[in-house]
Amino acid sequence: MAAAQAGTYDAIVVGGGHNGLVAAAYLARSGARTLVLEGRGKTGGAATTEAPWPDAPEFEVTRLSYVMSLLPPTIIKDLELPRHGYKIFPMGPYYQAFPEGGSIKLYADDARRNHEEVSKWSKKDADAMPRWDAWLAGLAEVLGPLLLTVPPNLGSRKPRDLSETLRLAWRHRGLDVRTIADVTRLMTMSIADLLDDWFESPQVKGALAVNGVIGTWAGPFEPGTAYVMAHHSIGDVGDGHLGNWGFQEGGMGAVSSAIESAAREHGAEVRLNARVAKVIVENDRARGVVLDNGDELRASVIVSTVHPRIAFLDQIGREHLPPDFVTDIEHWKTRSGVVKINLALSELPDFTADPGSQLQEHHTGSVEMAPTMEYMERAFQDAREGRPAARPFSDGVIPTAFDKTLSPEGTHIMSLFTQWVPQDWSEQPHTAELEAYTDRMIDCYNELAPNFKASILHRDIVGPYEMEQEYGLVGGNIFHGELSLEQLFHMRPAPGYADYRTPLRGLYYGSSATHAGGGVCGIPGWQAARAAIADQKAAKRSGSVRRLTRRS
């Protein structure tokens, strides 16, 4: 791809979230003159570090996403991210203190300690744990590589699509009847039913169910939540450890900054406060974009990484798209009822079950409010019935247990990823109700750690409305679209277009609403850039621009 006149680029990336930055880095690395257009005054999207309290700028929080897991080693290596500041502290154990007394810790890779911990609640469950871990590891071997696979266009009879489908089937020819049955169970069961098959203790089941409901508009008794658990359990922060999660030094914004720095080093230009209003379409081909200030920028490749409703319905328009594709995007499910609460603390929580506010192991991992599956289900049912949860669920973390860059010496940041509020709260701010919800959330932790409430110096609440208005997360869904079965793999974001291409030539799509998203994994951005680069090369070889419309 060659350089050209001002206002004209080889590639324009719409959205400077981490996926847009990954796409830009790969495009620029391939030699393309690349421009990233980010609507906010800051890159990173949902992977952002911000100082939300003007009167206390010394505190920084990872305002939305909070832990790393799925960024593949290939991306880390290709973009040399550690050299650009990517540095992960592996998380400590999962921790839950119980209202009835006692606690449980679960470790990512310490079977002996897990046995001790689970034995406190059920000897039978402790004995089942190694088999459960092995079962999950077996499934991760099947599902993990799929995350890096471009989904085939299932159902298409075009020779290229058929051969890709056959190649996928061939790769999995070694799967036996049991493995296929296990994958089927994972894909179709609720996390509650699955755990009931394996364990008896409510405390242990509560601990293992958390990953099944993260960011999901579904309680643990809903079919499909078993897969969500697996999606969050097959991660790898680059050190090869299955399901290991970690904190980025400097918060999640530092992940985005590292990717941005790599992209810039390869020559990409990043423009902030550059909101794209429209994609220019000429002869069924994307030719450029118009910003909301009227500026026009042109490129032969456009990679969009914004929410699919914004990318297709707002920025392109129904008239340029096939009607069934438009219907699929209109029907895209994008709810979640998540409220992110960020706290500045004067001291660490002093749990009655594990006393002391000095730093201890149980402060270093996830500090949960998910004592049982029934507790979580009640929180979801409240929201489904149209009320915010009376006793919300929370996946809490205290990154400052490791990361001293986020808050002054002796103080801490605590991030609470909480659920659920009604799905339509993305339509109105609900400010007073969110304050009351946050009070209740804090009360729940205070019952377990009586110093908690008094230790709070500042609080920052991000509800679904702000997620949509400020960050472009339509409906408040944290992944640009639910990880429900009908929205996975070849269906993400729409059947016929799961290969990071779109109905328009020259337009590629690489947001979390594509296969392998969501989460801060960079795979969608990487795949969209690869598709664009491959098509450009093929077009050059054939001396023409190939038509890339995929649906047959």
Q: Which among 26-34, 105-113, 406-414, 470-478 is the span making contact with ligand FAD, rule CB under 6 A?
A: 470-478
- Look-up: residue for tokens 């079965």? 485
* 40 in contact with ligand FAD (CB under 6 A): yes
Q: From CA 494, how far away is CA 487, in angstroms rounded?
A: 8
Contacts of 428 (CB under 8 A, 6+ apart): 465
For the beta carbon of residue 313, count every other beta carbon within 10 angstroms.
Answer: 17
How far the first Cα of the chain sits from its last, in Å, is 30
Q: From CA 366, how far away is CA 245, in angstroms rounded?
A: 10
For the beta carbon of residue 391, count every other beta carbon within 10 angstroms.
Answer: 18
* 415 in contact with ligand FAD (CB under 6 A): no
Beta bridge partners of 304: 14, 509
Please say which residue, 121 or 247, places its beta carbon nearer to ligand FAD: 247
For the beta carbon of residue 209, count every other beta carbon within 10 angstroms.
Answer: 28
Go through 5-30 and write b for each residue having 16 or more CB atoms within 10 A of its CB, e for each that does not: eeebbbbbbbbbbbbbbbbbbbbbbb
* 279 in contact with ligand FAD (CB under 6 A): no
* 420 in contact with ligand FAD (CB under 6 A): no
Nearest to 408 by CA among 57, 62, 58: 58
* 151 in contact with ligand FAD (CB under 6 A): no
Q: Which among 198-206, 322-330, 487-495, 518-526 is the span making contact with ligand FAD, rule CB under 6 A?
A: 518-526
Residue 349 Cβ vs ligand FAD, minimum distance, rounded to whole Å: 20
Q: Which among 62-70, 188-196, 355-363, 429-437 is the span making contact with ligand FAD, rule CB under 6 A?
A: 62-70
For the beta carbon of residue 152, count every other beta carbon within 10 angstroms.
Answer: 21
Q: Which of 204, 310, 516, 523 binds ligand FAD (CB under 6 A)?
A: 310
Q: From CA 280, how far away is CA 455, in angstroms rounded?
A: 53
Q: Which of 281, 379, 473, 528 binds ligand FAD (CB under 6 A)?
A: 473
* 39 in contact with ligand FAD (CB under 6 A): yes
Please say which residue, 51 or 290, places its beta carbon nearer to ligand FAD: 290
* 334 in contact with ligand FAD (CB under 6 A): no
Q: Which among 4-12, 143-151, 496-504, 517-525 is the span making contact with ligand FAD, rule CB under 6 A?
A: 517-525
Q: Which among 37-45, 85-93, 185-193, 369-377 is the span making contact with ligand FAD, rule CB under 6 A?
A: 37-45
The CA dihedral of 168, 169, 174, 180, to the nearest 10 degrees, is 110
Near ligand FAD in 211-270, by CB under 6 A = none
Q: Which of 11, 25, 35, 64 binds ligand FAD (CB under 6 A)?
A: 64
Residue 298 Cβ vs ligand FAD, minimum distance, rounded to whole Å: 16
Q: From CA 274, how far away is CA 296, in angstroms rounded?
A: 11
User: Which amino acid does the sequence have at 99?
Assistant: P
Beta bridge partners of 97: 103
- Look-up: residue for tokens 């049955």? 181
- Look-up: residue for tokens 């609403």? 513
Quote the radius of gyration of the chain (alpha carbons, Å).
Answer: 23
Q: Which among 66-74, 134-142, 441-449, 486-494 is the span making contact with ligand FAD, rule CB under 6 A?
A: 66-74
For the beta carbon of residue 535, count every other beta carbon within 10 angstroms.
Answer: 18
* 302 in contact with ligand FAD (CB under 6 A): no
Residues 176-195 vs ligand FAD: string with x where CB under 6 A?
Answer: --------------------
Please say which residue, 278 or 551, places its beta carbon nearer to ligand FAD: 278
The token pair that represents 83 in the structure block? 């050299």
* 38 in contact with ligand FAD (CB under 6 A): yes
For the beta carbon of residue 354, count every other beta carbon within 10 angstroms.
Answer: 18
Please say which residue, 106 or 302, places its beta carbon nearer to ligand FAD: 302
- SS3 per-residue string spanning 120-132: CCCHHHHHHHHHH
Residue 520 Cβ vs ligand FAD, minimum distance, rounded to whole Å: 4
Q: Which among 59-67, 131-139, 352-360, 400-408 is the span making contact with ligand FAD, rule CB under 6 A?
A: 59-67
Please say which residue, 66 or 199, places its beta carbon nearer to ligand FAD: 66
Near ligand FAD in 340-369, by CB under 6 A = 340
Please say which residue, 136 or 467, places its beta carbon nearer to ligand FAD: 467
Q: Which of 123, 172, 275, 537 binds ligand FAD (CB under 6 A)?
A: 275
Residue 479 Cβ vs ligand FAD, minimum distance, rounded to whole Å: 5
Q: Which of 1, 10, 18, 161 binds ligand FAD (CB under 6 A)?
A: 18
Q: Which of 9, 10, 12, 16 binds ligand FAD (CB under 6 A)?
A: 16
Near ligand FAD in 519-538, by CB under 6 A = 519-520
* 45 in contact with ligand FAD (CB under 6 A): yes
Q: From CA 209, how far away is CA 236, in angstroms rounded?
A: 20
User: Which amino acid does the sequence have at 427?
Assistant: E
* 518 in contact with ligand FAD (CB under 6 A): yes
Go through 507-533 and write b for each residue having 16 or more CB atoms within 10 A of its CB, e for each that does not: bbbbbbbbbbbbbbbbbbbbbbbbbbb
Q: From CA 183, how far away is CA 220, in angstroms rounded?
A: 18
Q: In the chain, what is the greatest distance between 2 CA atoms, to the nearest angstrom?
A: 72
Please say which residue, 132 or 332, places its beta carbon nearer to ligand FAD: 332
* 394 in contact with ligand FAD (CB under 6 A): no
* 20 in contact with ligand FAD (CB under 6 A): yes
Nearest to 464 by CA among 516, 518, 423, 418: 423
**Cβ-contact 399, 62 below 8 angstroms:** yes
User: Which amino acid does the sequence have at 1?
Assistant: M
* 296 in contact with ligand FAD (CB under 6 A): no
Q: How many of the chain's residues bind ligand FAD (CB under 6 A)? A: 41
The CA dihedral of 223, 154, 148, 337, to the nearest 10 degrees, is -30
* 475 in contact with ligand FAD (CB under 6 A): no
Residues binding ligand FAD (CB under 6 A): 14-20, 37-40, 45-47, 64-67, 69-70, 275-276, 305-306, 310, 338, 340, 417, 467, 471-473, 478-480, 511-512, 517-520
